[in-house]
Amino acid sequence: MLQTPRAASHYLTPQIWVPTAIALIALQAIILFAMGQPAICACGVVKLWHGSASSPETSQHISDWYTLSHILHGVVFYALLKLVAPRASLGALFLAALAIEAAWEITENTPLIVDRYRQLALAQGYNGDSVLNSVFDTIAAGAGFMLARFAPVWLTALVLVAFETVAVLSIRDNLTLNIIQLVYPIEAISRWQAGG
């Protein structure tokens, strides 16, 4: 019996895509470690949460304020990938989202992007992510992807607005401002983020 393209796309079962996702994240960790990123915070401690956005320990522990942005990455990736490939299986979309996030995590830790972040008010002492933080950022994006896939659209939109609002009120930064300041820095935003 011939398989239709739609049926064939469902061969990407959880027994295939879950181990593939784990391998992808492991590859990300290996690449970051080979690039010289520390496995954990140089402080020698592993924290579940680090609440200061401008300390040397930011982006060094399991989670911090920027974890919210990575969850939103997953939400946005789900929406865009579903738009581009509406008939793709959940596994294929999930792996594509993780691959995009892993590629960003690697790119974000290159000297070019690290130096770009250092020019911003909140990241002047930034040296990139620890491997631990980067891996959990990718896991957070995966969680955001699953939220967008399985939660009602209204709830996903509410989470997006809530995360952006909480982050901007708490640390004067969020995904939207991060993108703006990375792509086209605005001095007024930098002054406001610095507390001016």
- pLDDT band at residue 40 using 50, 70 and 90 as cut-offs: very high
pLDDT reported for residue 192: 92
Contacts for 66 with CB less than 8 Å, ≥ 6 apart = 53, 58, 59, 137, 173, 178
Q: Let me know if residue 48 belongs to a domain.
A: no
Domain presence at residue 100: yes
Within-domain flag for 1: no
pLDDT range class, residue 125, cuts 50, 70, 90: confident
Say if 146 falls within a structural domain: yes
Q: Is residue 1 very low, low, confident or very high in pLDDT (cuts 50, 70, 90)?
A: very low
The share of the chain scoring above pLDDT 70, in percent, equals 93
In this structure, is residue 66 part of a structural domain?
yes
In a domain, residue 77? The reply is yes
State the total domains in the chain: 1
The predicted model gives 152-157 an average pLDDT of 98
pTM value is 0.92
The per-residue pLDDT for range 44-101, each reduced to its tens digit, is 999 999 999 888 999 999 999 999 999 999 999 999 999 999 999 999 999 999 999 9
pLDDT given for residue 33 in this prediction: 98
Q: At what angle do helices 67-84 and 153-171 cross, to 10 degrees?
A: 150
- pLDDT value at residue 121: 61
Beta bridge partners of 116: none
Q: Is residue 62 part of a domain?
A: yes
* Residue 106 covered by a domain: yes
Range of the domain at 146: 54-193
